[in-house]
Amino acid sequence: MFNNTLKKDFKMLNETMEGYPLGYFDNAATTLKPQSVIQAISDYYEKYSVNIHRGDYDISFKVTDMVEKARDNMATFINAQSADEIIYTSGATEALNLVAMGYGLANLQEGDVILTTEAEHASNILPWFEVAKKTGAIIKYLPMDEEGKITDYTSLLTQDVKVVTMAHVSNVLGHINPVEDIIKKAHEVGAIVILDGAQSTPHLKIDVQALDVDFFAFSGHKMLGPTGIGVLYGKEKLLQELMPLKSGGGANARFNIFGEVVLKGSPAKFEAGTPHIAGILGFDAAITYLNEVGMDKIHAYELELRNYAYEALKKMDHITIYNPSAQSGIISFNVKGIFSQDVCAYLSKFGFALRAGNHCAKVLHEVIKTNDTCRLSLYLYNTKEEIDRFIEVIKDITLEKTIALYI
């Protein structure tokens, strides 16, 4: 669908690995960057590399406007009500920590329940472990089937649940969680809902108002943007009460020698220090690119590719697939009798980049009954030709061949 124009936009697609064309299937870890994103970053450093919100001169006004325009664009991209609801962070991890520490520590008490899943990325569970330890709140997990799909939430959404925090899309299994209904039912019992959108925002059209989600976190680098930049969306009313993670320049309206500090409103109060200006402008170029292609088209194309790969893989007796019914571009699999890392190391010798392991979801093995998997994760620039070549290699993989790599 996008094949040939994309080769022009993504220079890395013209690169080779181990003498083979690069087959980049590690998009859930991070994505390649189009030229327009690289250009936006280098334009900042080459043409107008000044600070924002502080300089009383023309270039600073211009870059301040560019950053605030980028914030407006981001609000439109996820359909936030206002740009003040968009907080730039260093990534999904910082965004999720900000909510856990800023909301969890301030609002939870002994016995309150934090409801989550065993499929969470470390970034959306470790901060809550800390909140639970400090407040006496209790973490409970939604039940899942052996494919990692949530089987029940209604019976767990009781009055003692104060926070529901979960991935919109799982980074290991690619399931799109039934978040619309979970949010509705969570609100009925008075809980707030935080969605980790790190794996959904790059692939699906996000509408935070339609979801009625309270907080929503995602990263730029997983959606064509630069590393080191991400977003926390929060409903305006909740952001007014949310405590910032960091204090410093730009976040306060004034302070005095007695330590009395008056904070600014959102987003400034959460963004102390010089922001990652190049990152924000690069992220803006990324969403421009995604908008031009169209999020609906991207999701449909990824599903088509996924099904194409899945149909071929499921015919192979030596392959176990852990997420046969996922509705996104992730396939988690193992080759029987070969350690996942050895499989991926072998595949890399043919130009394929895949990740092996537990993918930072370290308690999910209880559910899917394996400690680690190979993860093939697709994005808009992948092609059926790459998948054909991948299938040719994996269909003949044997333990002997993977061992031979080391001799």
Shortest distance, CB of residue 235 to ligand PLP, whole angstroms?
21
Q: Which is nearer to ligand PLP, 27 or 383 (CB)?
A: 27
List phi, psi (to 5°) of 265: -85, -175
Count of beta carbons in the 10 Å neighbourhood of residue 72: 14
- 322, 148 in Cβ contact below 8 A? yes
Q: Which is nearer to ligand PLP, 333 or 346 (CB)?
A: 333
Cα dihedral sign, 75-77-80-81:
positive
- 140, 186 in Cβ contact below 8 A? no
Which residue in 353, 360, 363, 391 is the catalytic one? 360
CA 197 to chain centre: 5
The candidate with the shortest Cα–Cα distance to 302, out of 314, 315, 290, is 290
Q: Which is nearer to ligand PLP, 201 or 402 (CB)?
A: 201
Shortest distance, CB of residue 327 to ligand PLP, whole angstroms?
16
Decide if 360 is catalytic. yes
Q: Which is nearer to ligand PLP, 199 or 383 (CB)?
A: 199
List phi, psi (to 5°) of 315: -80, -10
How far is residue 285's CA from residue 287's CA, in Å, rounded to a whole number? Answer: 6
Shortest distance, CB of residue 21 to ligand PLP, whole angstroms?
25
Q: Which is nearer to ligand PLP, 319 or 368 (CB)?
A: 368
Shortest distance, CB of residue 308 to ligand PLP, whole angstroms?
23
Shortest distance, CB of residue 30 to ligand PLP, whole angstroms?
8
**Amino acid identity for residue 254 in this structure:** R
User: Tokens 């080769």 map to which residue?
Assistant: 7
Binding positions for ligand PLP, rule: CB under 6 A:
28, 91-93, 121, 123-124, 167, 171, 196, 198-199, 219
- 135, 186 in Cβ contact below 8 A? no
Question: What residues form DSSP beta bridges with 262?
Answer: 254
Active site residues: 360
